[in-house]
Amino acid sequence: MTYQEKRSIVTLISTILIFAAYCLYMYPRYPEQGAELSELLHYWGAFVLVLMLISIIAHIVISIVFNIIYRMTTGEKEPGFTDELDRIIELRAHRTSFLLFILGFLCAMGSLVLEQPLYIMFDILIAAGFLADVSGSITKLYHYRRGI
Protein backbone atom coordinates (compact mmCIF):
# COMPACT_ATOMS: atom_id res chain seq x y z
CA MET A 1 0.00 0.00 0.00
CA THR A 2 1.40 3.38 -0.98
CA TYR A 3 1.79 6.52 1.13
CA GLN A 4 -1.25 8.20 -0.39
CA GLU A 5 -3.49 5.17 0.22
CA LYS A 6 -2.38 4.90 3.85
CA ARG A 7 -2.84 8.62 4.31
CA SER A 8 -6.38 8.47 2.89
CA ILE A 9 -7.27 5.65 5.29
CA VAL A 10 -5.81 7.54 8.27
CA THR A 11 -7.70 10.70 7.27
CA LEU A 12 -10.94 8.75 6.88
CA ILE A 13 -10.64 7.04 10.27
CA SER A 14 -9.57 10.22 12.06
CA THR A 15 -12.45 12.19 10.50
CA ILE A 16 -14.97 9.62 11.75
CA LEU A 17 -13.41 9.42 15.23
CA ILE A 18 -13.11 13.19 15.68
CA PHE A 19 -16.71 13.75 14.58
CA ALA A 20 -18.09 10.94 16.74
CA ALA A 21 -16.15 12.08 19.81
CA TYR A 22 -17.17 15.70 19.31
CA CYS A 23 -20.85 14.83 18.87
CA LEU A 24 -20.79 12.66 22.01
CA TYR A 25 -19.30 15.61 23.87
CA MET A 26 -21.60 18.32 22.47
CA TYR A 27 -25.04 16.75 22.17
CA PRO A 28 -25.59 16.39 25.94
CA ARG A 29 -24.93 20.15 26.11
CA TYR A 30 -27.89 20.95 23.87
CA PRO A 31 -30.02 23.72 25.48
CA GLU A 32 -32.95 22.42 27.46
CA GLN A 33 -36.47 22.53 26.06
CA GLY A 34 -37.97 25.99 26.13
CA ALA A 35 -34.64 27.70 25.52
CA GLU A 36 -34.71 30.96 23.60
CA LEU A 37 -33.98 31.09 19.89
CA SER A 38 -30.84 33.16 20.45
CA GLU A 39 -29.51 30.49 22.84
CA LEU A 40 -30.20 27.74 20.30
CA LEU A 41 -28.51 29.66 17.50
CA HIS A 42 -25.52 30.33 19.76
CA TYR A 43 -25.26 26.60 20.48
CA TRP A 44 -25.37 25.60 16.81
CA GLY A 45 -22.99 28.35 15.75
CA ALA A 46 -20.50 27.29 18.41
CA PHE A 47 -21.02 23.63 17.46
CA VAL A 48 -20.00 24.21 13.85
CA LEU A 49 -17.15 26.66 14.51
CA VAL A 50 -15.53 24.62 17.29
CA LEU A 51 -15.92 21.43 15.23
CA MET A 52 -14.10 23.07 12.31
CA LEU A 53 -11.34 24.37 14.56
CA ILE A 54 -10.86 21.02 16.33
CA SER A 55 -10.92 19.15 13.00
CA ILE A 56 -8.24 21.38 11.47
CA ILE A 57 -5.94 21.14 14.51
CA ALA A 58 -6.51 17.38 14.90
CA HIS A 59 -5.83 16.75 11.19
CA ILE A 60 -2.58 18.72 11.35
CA VAL A 61 -1.43 16.82 14.45
CA ILE A 62 -2.50 13.45 13.02
CA SER A 63 -0.75 14.24 9.72
CA ILE A 64 2.52 15.04 11.53
CA VAL A 65 2.28 11.90 13.68
CA PHE A 66 1.40 9.80 10.62
CA ASN A 67 4.41 11.12 8.69
CA ILE A 68 6.73 10.35 11.61
CA ILE A 69 5.35 6.81 11.96
CA TYR A 70 5.51 6.31 8.17
CA ARG A 71 9.18 7.32 8.08
CA MET A 72 10.02 5.10 11.05
CA THR A 73 8.22 2.01 9.73
CA THR A 74 9.08 2.20 6.02
CA GLY A 75 12.36 4.13 6.06
CA GLU A 76 10.92 6.23 3.21
CA LYS A 77 10.33 9.95 3.23
CA GLU A 78 6.80 11.08 2.42
CA PRO A 79 6.33 12.83 -0.98
CA GLY A 80 7.00 16.53 -0.51
CA PHE A 81 4.86 17.65 -3.43
CA THR A 82 1.66 16.83 -5.32
CA ASP A 83 1.90 15.76 -8.94
CA GLU A 84 -0.67 15.67 -11.75
CA LEU A 85 -2.27 12.41 -10.54
CA ASP A 86 -2.62 13.81 -7.00
CA ARG A 87 -4.21 16.97 -8.36
CA ILE A 88 -6.74 15.09 -10.51
CA ILE A 89 -7.69 12.83 -7.59
CA GLU A 90 -7.93 15.85 -5.31
CA LEU A 91 -10.29 17.55 -7.79
CA ARG A 92 -12.50 14.46 -8.02
CA ALA A 93 -12.61 14.19 -4.23
CA HIS A 94 -13.60 17.86 -3.99
CA ARG A 95 -16.30 17.36 -6.60
CA THR A 96 -17.81 14.42 -4.70
CA SER A 97 -17.65 16.31 -1.40
CA PHE A 98 -19.16 19.43 -2.95
CA LEU A 99 -22.07 17.54 -4.54
CA LEU A 100 -22.87 15.73 -1.31
CA PHE A 101 -22.72 18.91 0.73
CA ILE A 102 -24.95 20.79 -1.71
CA LEU A 103 -27.44 17.91 -1.57
CA GLY A 104 -27.39 18.10 2.23
CA PHE A 105 -27.75 21.87 2.13
CA LEU A 106 -30.83 21.58 -0.11
CA CYS A 107 -32.31 18.95 2.23
CA ALA A 108 -31.63 21.25 5.20
CA MET A 109 -33.41 24.11 3.45
CA GLY A 110 -36.22 21.70 2.56
CA SER A 111 -36.65 20.89 6.23
CA LEU A 112 -37.24 24.60 6.91
CA VAL A 113 -39.80 24.77 4.12
CA LEU A 114 -41.57 21.77 5.67
CA GLU A 115 -41.60 23.67 8.99
CA GLN A 116 -39.43 21.15 10.80
CA PRO A 117 -37.73 22.17 14.07
CA LEU A 118 -34.51 24.15 13.81
CA TYR A 119 -32.37 21.31 15.14
CA ILE A 120 -33.41 19.14 12.18
CA MET A 121 -32.01 21.71 9.77
CA PHE A 122 -28.71 21.95 11.66
CA ASP A 123 -28.51 18.17 12.08
CA ILE A 124 -28.89 17.69 8.32
CA LEU A 125 -26.38 20.46 7.59
CA ILE A 126 -23.76 19.06 9.98
CA ALA A 127 -24.36 15.48 8.79
CA ALA A 128 -23.95 16.68 5.20
CA GLY A 129 -20.64 18.34 6.10
CA PHE A 130 -19.45 15.17 7.77
CA LEU A 131 -20.56 12.92 4.91
CA ALA A 132 -18.95 15.29 2.40
CA ASP A 133 -15.66 15.02 4.28
CA VAL A 134 -15.88 11.23 4.52
CA SER A 135 -16.87 10.85 0.86
CA GLY A 136 -13.86 12.97 -0.14
CA SER A 137 -11.51 10.61 1.68
CA ILE A 138 -13.25 7.54 0.23
CA THR A 139 -13.06 9.01 -3.27
CA LYS A 140 -9.33 9.61 -2.84
CA LEU A 141 -8.76 6.10 -1.54
CA TYR A 142 -10.82 4.60 -4.37
CA HIS A 143 -8.93 6.46 -7.10
CA TYR A 144 -5.49 5.82 -5.58
CA ARG A 145 -6.29 2.10 -5.49
CA ARG A 146 -8.26 1.72 -8.74
CA GLY A 147 -6.88 4.52 -10.86
CA ILE A 148 -8.70 7.18 -12.85
Partner 1 sequence: MRNNLVGNHIRRLRFDHDEMTQQQLADKVGVTRQTIVALEKGNYSPSLELAFRIARAFSLPIESIFYYEENAKK
Residues between 109 and 148 with contacts to partner 1, criterion CB under 8 A: 144, 146-148
Please say which residue, 1 or 37, places its beta carbon nearer to partner 1.
1
Q: CB of 84: closest distance to partner 1 in angstroms? A: 5
Burial environment of residue 40 by CB neighbours within 10 A (0 to 12, 13 to 18, 19 or more): middle
> Is residue 70 within 8 Å of residue 76, measured between CB atoms?
yes
Q: CB of 67: closest distance to partner 1 in angstroms? A: 14
3-state secondary structure of 78: coil
Residues between 59 and 88 with contacts to partner 1, criterion CB under 8 A: 79, 81-86
Pattern of binders to partner 1 over 25-64, x per CB under 8 A?
----------------------------------------
The answer for residues whose C-beta is within 8 angstroms of residue 126's C-beta and 6 or more apart is: 47, 48, 51
Please say which residue, 19 or 144, places its beta carbon nearer to partner 1.
144
Counting residues that bind partner 1 (by CB under 8 A) gives 14
Please say which residue, 28 or 147, places its beta carbon nearer to partner 1.
147
Burial environment of residue 93 by CB neighbours within 10 A (0 to 12, 13 to 18, 19 or more): buried
Measure the CA–CA gap between 116 and 119, rounded to whole angstroms. Answer: 8
Gyration radius of the chain's alpha carbons: 18
Residue of the chain from 4, 8, 11, 135 that contacts partner 1 (CB under 8 A): 4
In the complex, the residues that contact partner 1 under the rule CB under 8 A are 2-4, 79, 81-86, 144, 146-148
